[in-house]
């Protein structure tokens, strides 16, 4: 049972979280341009009597009662947003409160998690728990940037499990698909389109595109399903009467936990004739064991584990992690993005219920 003291002043915690969120929304914080919002989060933590640290646009706090004999939980949520899409009927950088809803860019993804986890962190560090906490508000998540969370992980104390705040309707994502982007080039030979000459690179590319479309990797995850390969861009040709000697295309590959990105890359290279280059192998699929104490506690309080098709900072974590936060994934990156105040209130309550008294093995 959650100690009643933890639930005291929930209304104030929610009001503080909402106030900070409205201020965050009004500061543009596109990926790699999060400096001003990082200032705000840093100053907020400092004014609350904590000792935040900062590197680049990443801000974090280590439990003031840190004990190296205890395991450590990382809270992470990201500060950056995508750019607003067309179709907004409200000002993206103005926090508009209408009833229970807060509209504004980044309200759902990922400001609600940033402010909710901050309130939970500030509450739990003043209680006696069997673990330490580290709170992180990281940058560059939307672009999987190397100056984001990945760059500051070595500066944290050893972490045993992560809780990544993302809009999951406060259900625990215990597995997440990875991402690999491939740049593929089919080579041919130029010629005049009016004569039977040349080697059309488009036709060569079509054979490989057909294989990518139709091939199914054998291992299917019960949580994440099959590996998914999708051709998303094609570029070829210079003018109508020239046989193209090159056709390039881009493939979006979403991996499950049974394959590393490098394994998939090697297999794809064996089965296509085109030149294949991977932009990165670092964003692999992630999962946490169903028997992990964090997952078991989530189920105990009525949460339902699931597998997430969307990428997050989990892909960068070299330790087990679970993704769970307020808001709804389908609202992310959309016009008139919003989160509900009641969702923030529920998140703070559920996080506290999840984490109070949690027993972890070091």
What does the DSSP assignment read for 173-207?
A: EEEE-EEEEEEEEEE-B-EETTSS-SB-HHHHHHH
Measured distance CA(125)–CA(119) in Å, rounded: 10
Average pLDDT, the chain: 96
Res. 6: pLDDT tops 90: no
Q: Give tens-digit pLDDT for 280-323.
A: 999 999 999 999 999 999 999 999 999 999 999 999 999 999 99
Instruction: Work out the pLDDT band at 9, boundaries 50, 70, 90.
Output: confident
For residue 272, give the DSSP letter. -
Helix 35-47 vs helix 10-25: crossing angle, to nearest 10: 150
Res. 1: pLDDT tops 60: no
Measured distance CA(60)–CA(58) in Å, rounded: 7
Q: Give tens-digit pLDDT for 85-132.
A: 999 999 999 999 999 999 999 999 999 999 999 999 999 999 999 999
- Of all helices (H) and strands (E), which one includes residue 77? strand 72-78
Q: Which two tokens stand for residue 198?
A: 């040349």
- Phi/psi of residue 203, nearest 5 degrees: -65, -35
Which residue is listed with tokens 């100056």?
A: 147
- Of all helices (H) and strands (E), which one includes residue 250? strand 246-255
Measured distance CA(357)–CA(362) in Å, rounded: 15
- Could you tell me the pTM of the whole model? 0.92
């Amino acid at each position: 049972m959650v100690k009643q003291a933890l639930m005291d002043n929930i209304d104030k915690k929610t009001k503080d979280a909402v106030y900070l969120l409205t201020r965050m929304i009004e500061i543009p914080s596109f990926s790699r341009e999060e400096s001003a919002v990082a200032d705000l989060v840093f100053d907020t933590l400092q004014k609350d009597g904590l000792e935040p640290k900062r590197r680049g646009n990443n801000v974090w706090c280590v439990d003031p009662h840190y004990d190296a004999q205890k395991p450590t939980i990382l809270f992470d949520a990201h500060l950056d947003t995508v750019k607003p899409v067309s179709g907004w009927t409200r000002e993206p950088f103005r926090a508009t409160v209408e009833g229970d809803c807060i509209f504004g860019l980044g309200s759902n993804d990922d400001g609600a998690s940033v402010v909710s986890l901050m309130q939970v962190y500030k509450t739990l560090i003043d209680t006696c728990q069997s673990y330490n906490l580290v709170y992180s508000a990281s940058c560059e998540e939307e672009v999987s940037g190397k100056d984001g969370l990945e760059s500051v992980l070595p500066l944290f104390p050893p972490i045993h499990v992560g809780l990544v705040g993302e809009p999951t309707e406060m259900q625990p994502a215990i597995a997440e698909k990875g991402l690999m982007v491939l740049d593929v080039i089919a080579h041919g030979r130029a010629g005049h389109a009016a004569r039977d000459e040349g080697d059309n690179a488009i036709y060569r590319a079509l054979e490989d595109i057909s294989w990518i479309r139709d091939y199914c990797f054998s291992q299917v995850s019960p949580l994440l399903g099959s590996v998914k390969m999708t051709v998303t861009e094609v570029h070829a040709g210079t003018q109508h009467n020239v046989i193209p000697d090159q056709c390039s295309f881009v493939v979006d590959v979403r991996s499950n936990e049974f394959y590393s990105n490098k394994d998939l890359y090697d297999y794809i290279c064996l089965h296509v004739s085109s030149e294949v280059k991977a932009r990165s192998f670092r964003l692999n699929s992630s999962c946490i064991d169903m028997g992990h104490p964090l997952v078991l506690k989530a189920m105990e309080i009525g949460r339902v584990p699931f597998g997430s098709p969307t990428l997050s900072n989990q892909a960068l974590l070299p330790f087990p992690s679970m993704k769970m936060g307020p808001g709804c994934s389908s609202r992310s990156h959309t016009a008139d993005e919003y989160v509900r105040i009641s969702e923030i209130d529920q998140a703070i309550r559920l996080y506290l219920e999840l984490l109070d008294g949690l027993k972890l093995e070091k």
